[in-house]
Amino acid sequence: MRLLIHKNHEEASLWAANYIAGRMNAYTRTAEKPFVLGLPTGSSPLLIYRELIRQVQEGRLTFADVHTFNMDEYIGLSADHPQSYRYYMKENLFNHVDIDHANVHLLDGMAKDPQEECRLYEEAITRLGGIDLFLGGMGSDGHIAFNEPGSSLTSRTRIKTLTEETRNANARFFGGDPANVPATALTVGVGTVMDAREVLIIVTGRNKARALHAVVEEGVNHKWTLSCLQMHPRAIIVCDEDAVDELKVGTVRYFKDIEQDHI
Ligand code: GLP
């Protein structure tokens, strides 16, 4: 696992956007062999999306022959609900880049048969050859997507019940009341993320420091599901100085030191 420590959220986001754009540009894409990108929502990736949009508008990047799979979706929110992740993705990325909307894959939180919806999602990922790069954020309890503490580290796309901590954290998008946050969601599994050829996670802010310590310095553990990255052959966490507040001085020094010479 690589851990890149930037001064602040802005610099970490710019680095991540350039990394993603670099991977997309380097990949020889066709309709039959598209680049497959996994995507998150939340506040963490917003500046990354803004930078990707800028690069598309400047003609330096294209989403032609790119397929995207989003990580998760609340159960019970319609596509036009402003807090649905489908709505978020349109507003913050898809409406502003040259992606073929048929190539956008999102879980349907209103699906009549949610289990079948999850099965078909996994099938679609497999049919497209798997995810090349999965971008993600991290919840303050160390979760990836909506894989709350206790999730199986081999889990696949399925229904999950959200914890109180997650509903409290996301209440800010629902008028400040955790009771307004849906209690359940559809989410890719830890195993789904682990199958991606590469995983890039952005973690910024002091409120993520406790979880980042567990993920980086403790063992692989289902209580902090992002710790699964320790088992991934190509994983990067890009973070800011605030997020590393709870790491040992020696750990921070080590990662800064090896990144100096990274090629
Ligand atoms: C939710 C999402 C995660 C996201 C997390 C952190 O729980 N399901 O994918 O990483 O929130 O959100 P934020 O980036 O707003 O801190």
User: Tens place of pLDDT for every residue, the chain, 263 residues?
Assistant: 999 999 999 999 999 999 999 999 999 999 999 999 999 999 999 999 999 999 999 999 999 999 999 999 999 998 889 999 999 999 999 999 999 999 999 999 999 999 999 999 999 999 999 999 999 999 999 999 999 999 999 999 999 999 998 999 999 999 999 999 999 999 999 999 999 999 999 999 999 999 999 999 999 999 999 999 999 999 999 999 999 999 999 999 999 999 987 76
Q: Which amino acid is at 101?
A: H
Residue 263 is predicted with a pLDDT of 61
Does the beta carbon of 72 sit less than 6 angstroms from any atom of ligand 1? yes
End-to-end CA distance of the chain: 15
What is the C-alpha R_g of the chain? 17
Could you say which of 148, 195, 198, 240 is catalytic? Answer: 148
Report how far ligand 1's centroid is from the alpha carbon of 41 (Å). Answer: 6
Angle, to 10 degrees, between the axis of helix 85-92 and the axis of helix 46-57?
40
Does the beta carbon of 38 sit less than 6 angstroms from any atom of ligand 1? no
Q: Tell me the pTM.
A: 0.96
Residue 12's H or E segment, with its range, is: helix 9-26
Does the beta carbon of 137 sit less than 6 angstroms from any atom of ligand 1? yes
Residue 33 is predicted with a pLDDT of 96
Does the beta carbon of 182 sit less than 6 angstroms from any atom of ligand 1? no
Q: Give catalytic status of residue 72 as yes or no.
A: yes
**Cα–Cα distance, 53 to 89 (Å, whole number):** 12
Report how far ligand 1's centroid is from the alpha carbon of 263 (Å). Answer: 30
Residue 160 is predicted with a pLDDT of 96
Residue 79 is predicted with a pLDDT of 84
Report how far ligand 1's centroid is from the alpha carbon of 85 (Å). Answer: 11
Of the candidates 192, 188, 189, 162, the residue with the CA atom closest to the CA atom of residue 76: 162
Could you say which of 141, 195, 198, 240 is catalytic? Answer: 141
